[in-house]
Structure formats: C-alpha cells, structure tokens
Amino acid sequence: MEPIKKKSRFVWWSVPLIAVLAFTLYGCPSQQNLSSSGDAAQKVYVAPGEHDEFYGMFSGGYSGQMTVYGLPSGRHLYTIPVFSQAPVSGYGYSEETKPMLQTTHGFIPWDDAHHPEMSQTDGVPDGRWIFINANNTPRVARIDFSNFQTAEIIEIPNSAGNHASPFVTTNTEYISAATRFSIPLDEESLENQDVAISSYAENFKGTLSFIKIGDEGEMNIDFQILVPGFNYDLSHAGKGPSADWSFFTSYNTEEAHTLLERNASRNDKDFIAAVNWKKAAELVAEGAGREIDAPHYRNYMDHDEQRAKSELIETVKVIDPIENPGIIYYLPTPKSPHGVDVDPTGRYIVGGGKLSSVLPVHSFEKMIEAIENEDFEGEVDGIPVLNYDSVIHAEVENAGIGTLHTEFDGNGYAYTTAFISSEIVKWSLETFEVVDRIDTYYSPGHLMIPGGDSMQPEGKYLVALNKITKDRYLPTGPELFHSAQLIDISGDKMELLLDFPTDGEPHYAQGIAADIVKERQIKFYALEDNNHPDAVKSEAETRVERNGDEVHVYMTTIRSHFAPDNIEGLRVGDKVYFHVTNLEQDWDVPHGFAVLGARTSELLVMPGETRTILWEPQKPRVFPFYCTDFCSALHQEMQGYARVSPAGSDTPISFGTGE
C-alpha cells in the first residue's frame, strides 16, 4: 500500500523548524485505527425508518448556508439557506425573504459562514436557536430550531472579517463577535477610513462586539470594545466560575499589514484577550462609552406577516478600555493561537497554539489571582498584560503540530486537532498528558463533540472536520467535497467509524441530542394565523389586479391545481407579482411554482405559507407555469398558462380555472 503523504497547502507549513519537527516526530501516519469494519459498520448503522441519535449542524463555509446531518449515520438531512440565495426554495429571491440579505453594502446574496453555535441555558444547549457568522460581510444569523429557517440576521459595523463569532454566554445573554481584520477607526469620529495602509500601527483598530439576545432571540449590539489593531481570531465564553468572561485569541500582535505569513509569525507569544463582559455590560448600562455613527441593518422574519423586514440602526455604543479599566486583560499565549476553548468546568482556557510546540492551558483561577495582585508584565494601549508564568497552568507536550481547536468529552479529557500532523490528540485534564492519538484524513480544522463546548458534553462521538480529502472518495475532478470523520470516543482508544462527505467547507459544527430538537418541530403553518397582507385563504379570493404596469396575481395551491390557472392580459414590460398561498394543512406538502423564463428562481411554498416572486416577462407569448414539487399522483397535471401580449396592447385582464 502506498504511504499517504501529507502535503501542505499553506506556506506556514514550511516554517522550517516546524516541518523538520513534524517529520522527525511523526513521519507518515500509520494504518487507520479500525478494529474491524464490521464493528464500525454496526455502530453507525441506523436502520431504515429509524432516526439518528444526534443532529449535527454543520456550517457551509463558502456556501453561506448551514447543513444538517444525522449522527452517527452521516446522512445529510437538510440544508438551511442563511447568507446565500437558494434557488431551490426561493430564499433570497422571494419578496418575503429578500430583506434578510440587506446590508449597508447593499443586497449581499452570499457569504462565508464558519461557526454554528447553539443557544444555551445554564451552560447546556437548549435547542431553541442556532447562530452562525458571516465572515466576509460581517453578520450574525439566528436560525430557529422550530422550523430550521433563518429568523434573523444582524449586520456588525466597525468589523471586517467577522471570524471570532458567534459564541454564546452560558445563558445566551450575549453573543461575542470580534473582527479578524483590524481596520482604520479614527478614535474621534470612527469615520475616516481613507488612510494609507502603511499607517496601520497608528490608525488601525480592532473591535470586540457583544450582541445582546432578547427573550425571543432578537439580536441587538449592546456595545463594542475598542482594542489594539491585532487580528482577533476565535472566541469562546467562560462557564461556571468563568461565566462572566469571554476569551478571544489574537495573532498579528506584530501589527503587520503585508505578508502576514512571515511578518505576523515573529512574536513568540501573542495574546488571549479575557473580557469581563458582565462588568462591561454593567458599565455600559450606567452610561459608560459613547454612541457613534455606525449604520447597520437588522433583518428579521415577522412571523405574523410571514415576511422579513429590515430596520436600519444608526449608531452603536463603543467603550474604550483606557477609560474603563478592569474589563479586559491580555494573557500571553504561544504562538499565533487559533482556537480558544474553555473546558466544561470553566477552569481551564486552552489556546490553539498554531505555531507552538506545546499546547498552552491557562488557569482561570490563576488569572483572577494575577489580576488581583496586579501581576502584570506590561500593557498595550491601556490593557494590562498578565504575567505568562502566573496564569499558565500547563503546557501539553506532544499535542501534535499545528494545533487548532479543542473540544471536551465531559469525562475529564480534551481532544485537540493538529492540522500539520493530521491527527486528533486526546489528553487528560488532570495530568495534562497525551493519552491517545488517531490519524485523520486529512488535516482537520475544527472538531465537534455534541455539547463539546458546553458544560455538558455527550462524550460518545467526535466528528473531525477535515480540510483535505484527496483519495478518500471516488474522484470528482479537481474539486472534492470536504470530508468529515466520525470517531467513537466512548472507550479508552479512539476508533474511526465512518467517513462522510460534506457540503461547502464546514469549519465548525455543533451537535445536540435529537430528542431535544424533535419536540419543537412545526409541521405546517396554520392558515388562520397567516396574516400576510397578500395571502388569499380560499380559491374564492383569488384574483389578478393591474395597477399601472404592476400586476398582482393572488394565487392558491392545493393538490393538484393552481387557482387561477389561466391568466390573460399581461403585457411585456409588466412587473408581475405572483403571491402564492399554499392552502394545504398537512406535513411535508409544499407546492412549487415556476414559470417559463423566470430569471431568478422558483418558489417553494410550505403548507399555510404565502410567498411572492417577481416576474418580468420579456416577450409576447403564452408562458406555462407548473408545480415543481412532486406533490401527488396528479402532480404533472398541476400547471397553468399566462398569456403575455405586446406592450401597450389592450387585451383585458382575465383569470380563472376554466369557468
């Protein structure tokens, strides 16, 4: 058998010392750790008609969506449209969902979504909502678990590369969201962004945003903390004793603005920022900080009217650590750390020391002690830097090369991904020694244990989210789907059970016991609660109305016909709005609506729901329309015709179902 070569795509793999170290320590990976394939198959077998034990919620990365998998089977259950338009349902194309993608940069139909994060109660995922970040045009979305649909998207001003986002506090009081790229922020007006890039050190700043979550899940930016112009990479909130704190990794404390692979890899230590969000929130409530102009959109689904609305918020509250001492401290951390993860007891803060030979573990208790004793080794822009030796609790040796992310099993062990040495390393939270390791195929980024970043992990399975697929599946040309690997962590030795392909690039994922989410499901929308202004609740109300060159078609669907299904009197140059209400009151009976020459998408209308698509016919002719979702034995009969006459013609509006 040919040995598997681990090849680098990133230049920092070639940092010479690391490369030599990696090779001498690890060489090539051994054979897969499979006890027997029969055993493994049985462990992931979910018999036809049976349900998986866990929901796995995966980010879609550059697809901008979220995907839902069943675990342990690895079956792809659903794709939730979030930041990207989805022709499959009309999300982002229909008039009801377009406002969801509104930003101050205009209508943005795409993004790069990295980190799903579930709402928590008392530090445990509660199955209400799941949040996810948009990295490119900074936004955070909230998805409702009752219907697996995007319920809200808030834009984050004063941010660029919303990567350290969105991480919840233990009772979902706040979501943190830091900017990865620092940007010019003029201290006075925060407005002058047109500056020379070479003035980075002087003019560029970072922001750590805290989004307050209301009882119904509504998101509002409560405050932003102004921080030095480093890159803020990832975050996690504390828990238990550390629940009032949030932690953020930073790299590029060198404040380089070019060739970061080299220029931001010089310092032996960068920082984890520890933020006392509770204290900051109290100060803000007492009037600290100042309100600055920072227009940003909040888009939300109005459930009553079944359509999204956009509101423009003009300002945001900014607080400066210099004027508000005690809200933020820096913990020196080797070296360009990526992930930051807090163990289930809330006592340990693990930095993913990407370029470090050891995995640093800070102690929360020691951190508090060092703060009380003012045990500082310096300060940066008014932020005290704690003494490394005073806060570090352990340095895990041999934890792999290129360590990125850590999750926990709730049984006293931590699991860390090592990108370069392509493995998952299990270590003890008591001895801080490595107790097991398993190869992954290839180069894992994040990993996920259901509840693994909460106070109550379910330490049965681990999913490795690998960056490189290569030879794992039948080849599909130059592009291969990213590969996830399910690993059994219930015993002493980790055991690889299953590979399954994923969609887009799942960075992070979250898992939750299926029972918690199953209970909450809406099966259809009650027609009597549909207060959409363009809804029609019976065929008797269906009609076509002209208003200048706007035509509104109020249409219904029910197995297996449209009403009306013959429409005349449309003209070239018209803007035709089809408002389609699905009269069905039964689970899993959507109807589709597609019209020949439609330039955007179809509509997929759920039972009890109203959706609108704008159609601008380009030439005179008769255009068929039809239902796209095979809804009954007579689905093929579910069709109609729209007659379009030349511009200015006097064909009168008429419509009906043959009467």
Which strands form 413-418's sheet, in the order they lie side by side? 403-408, 413-418, 423-428, 434-439
Residue with tokens 């020949």: 596
C-alpha distances in angstroms, 569 versus 565, 576, 642? 14, 11, 9
Q: Which segments within 97-252 are labelled E, that is strand? A: 102-103, 106-107, 117-121, 124-134, 139-144, 149-155, 164-168, 174-178, 183-184, 204-213, 219-228, 231-237, 245-251
560 binds ligand CUA (CB under 6 A): yes
| Distance of alpha carbon 428 from alpha carbon 434, whole angstroms | 7
Residue nearest to ligand RUQ (CB): 445
Q: Which is nearer to ligand CUA, 168 or 536 (CB)?
A: 536
Hey, what's the torsion of the CAs at 176, 180, 183, 186, to 10 degrees? Answer: 30
446 binds ligand RUQ (CB under 6 A): yes
| Distance of alpha carbon 343 from alpha carbon 408, whole angstroms | 6
Q: Which is nearer to ligand CUA, 134 or 627 (CB)?
A: 627
Cβ count near 84 (within 10 Å): 21
For 415-468, the DSSP string reads: EEEETTTTEEEEEETTT--EEEEEE-TT-EEEEE-TTTTSSS--TTEEEEEES-
139 binds ligand RUQ (CB under 6 A): no
Q: How far is the CB of 135 from ligand RUQ (least distance, A)?
A: 7
Whether the Cβ atoms of residue 175 and residue 166 lie closer than 8 Å to each other: yes
CA nearest neighbour of 458 among 492, 416, 408: 408
The H or E element spanning position 543 is strand 543-547
Q: How far is the CB of 522 from ligand CUA (least distance, A)?
A: 20
Pick from 185, 318, 517, 627 the residue near ligand CUA by CB under 6 A.
627
Q: How far is the CB of 560 from ligand CUA (least distance, A)?
A: 6
CA nearest neighbour of 441 among 422, 419, 462: 422
Size of site (CB under 6 A) for ligand RUQ: 9
Q: How far is the CB of 591 from ligand CUA (least distance, A)?
A: 4
Contact of residue 630 among ligand RUQ, ligand CUA, none (CB under 5-8 Å per partner type):
ligand CUA
Contact of residue 532 among ligand RUQ, ligand CUA, none (CB under 5-8 Å per partner type):
none
Pick from 161, 445, 457, 607 the residue near ligand RUQ by CB under 6 A.
445
At 326 the three-state DSSP class reads coil
Which parts of 638-657 interact with ligand CUA (CB under 6 A)? 638
At 65 the three-state DSSP class reads coil
Cβ count near 110 (within 10 Å): 16
Q: Which is nearer to ligand RUQ, 180 or 472 (CB)?
A: 180
630 binds ligand CUA (CB under 6 A): yes
Q: How far is the CB of 624 from ligand CUA (least distance, A)?
A: 14
Stretch that binds ligand CUA, among 127-135, 194-202, 525-533, 631-639 (CB under 6 A): 631-639
Contact of residue 231 among ligand RUQ, ligand CUA, none (CB under 5-8 Å per partner type):
none
507 binds ligand RUQ (CB under 6 A): yes
For 253-289, the DSSP string reads: TT---S-HHHHTS--SEEEEEEEEHHHHHHHHHTT-S
The H or E element spanning position 405 is strand 403-408
Q: Please say whether the dihedral angle defined by the alpha carbons of residues 305, 308, 312 and 316, taken in this order, is positive or negative.
A: positive
Whether the Cβ atoms of residue 484 and residue 499 lie closer than 8 Å to each other: yes
Q: Which is nearer to ligand RUQ, 140 or 404 (CB)?
A: 404
Pick from 338, 347, 362, 561 the residue near ligand RUQ by CB under 6 A.
338
Q: How far is the CB of 606 from ligand CUA (least distance, A)?
A: 12
Q: Which is nearer to ligand CUA, 471 or 637 (CB)?
A: 637
Residue with tokens 């035709």: 576
Stretch that binds ligand CUA, among 53-61, 244-252, 355-363, 624-632 (CB under 6 A): 624-632
Stretch that binds ligand CUA, among 210-218, 360-368, 477-485, 626-634 (CB under 6 A): 626-634
269 binds ligand RUQ (CB under 6 A): no
163 binds ligand RUQ (CB under 6 A): yes
Q: Which is nearer to ligand RUQ, 239 or 446 (CB)?
A: 446
Kindly write out the interface string for residues 98-137 of this chain, putting x where it contacts ligand CUA by CB under 6 A and - elsewhere.
----------------------------------------
Q: Which is nearer to ligand CUA, 486 or 631 (CB)?
A: 631
Q: Tokens in use for 547? A: 């208003």
DSSP bridge partners of 476: 478
Which parts of 379-408 interact with ligand RUQ (CB under 6 A)? 404-405
Contact of residue 139 among ligand RUQ, ligand CUA, none (CB under 5-8 Å per partner type):
none
| Distance of alpha carbon 208 from alpha carbon 192, whole angstroms | 20
Q: What phi, psi does 425 have (nearest 5°)?
A: -115, 125
At 633 the three-state DSSP class reads coil
Q: Is 171 exposed, middle or buried (0-12, 13-18, 19+ CB in 10 A)?
A: middle
Give first-to-last CA distance, the chain, whole Å.
73
Kindly write out the interface string for residues 583-622 of this chain, putting x where it contacts ligand CUA by CB under 6 A and - elsewhere.
--------x-------------------------------
362 binds ligand RUQ (CB under 6 A): no
Contact of residue 391 among ligand RUQ, ligand CUA, none (CB under 5-8 Å per partner type):
none
Pick from 22, 383, 631, 644 the residue near ligand CUA by CB under 6 A.
631
Stretch that binds ligand CUA, among 53-61, 273-281, 365-373, 630-638 (CB under 6 A): 630-638
Size of site (CB under 6 A) for ligand CUA: 9
Q: Tokens in use for 381? A: 């822009």
| Distance of alpha carbon 74 from alpha carbon 447, whole angstroms | 15
Contact of residue 362 among ligand CUA, ligand RUQ, none (CB under 5-8 Å per partner type):
none
Q: Is 317 exposed, middle or buried (0-12, 13-18, 19+ CB in 10 A)?
A: middle
| Distance of alpha carbon 81 from alpha carbon 341, whole angstroms | 28
Q: How far is the CB of 89 from ligand CUA (least distance, A)?
A: 14
Residue with tokens 């929130």: 281
Q: How far is the CB of 132 from ligand RUQ (least distance, A)?
A: 11
Contact of residue 591 among ligand CUA, ligand RUQ, none (CB under 5-8 Å per partner type):
ligand CUA
10 binds ligand CUA (CB under 6 A): no
At 189 the three-state DSSP class reads coil
Pick from 58, 102, 113, 114 the residue near ligand RUQ by CB under 6 A.
114
Q: How far is the CB of 354 from ligand RUQ (least distance, A)?
A: 9
Q: Which residues lie near ligand CUA (CB under 6 A)? A: 557, 560, 591, 627, 629-631, 635, 638
Q: Which residues lie near ligand RUQ (CB under 6 A)? A: 114-115, 163, 338, 404-405, 445-446, 507
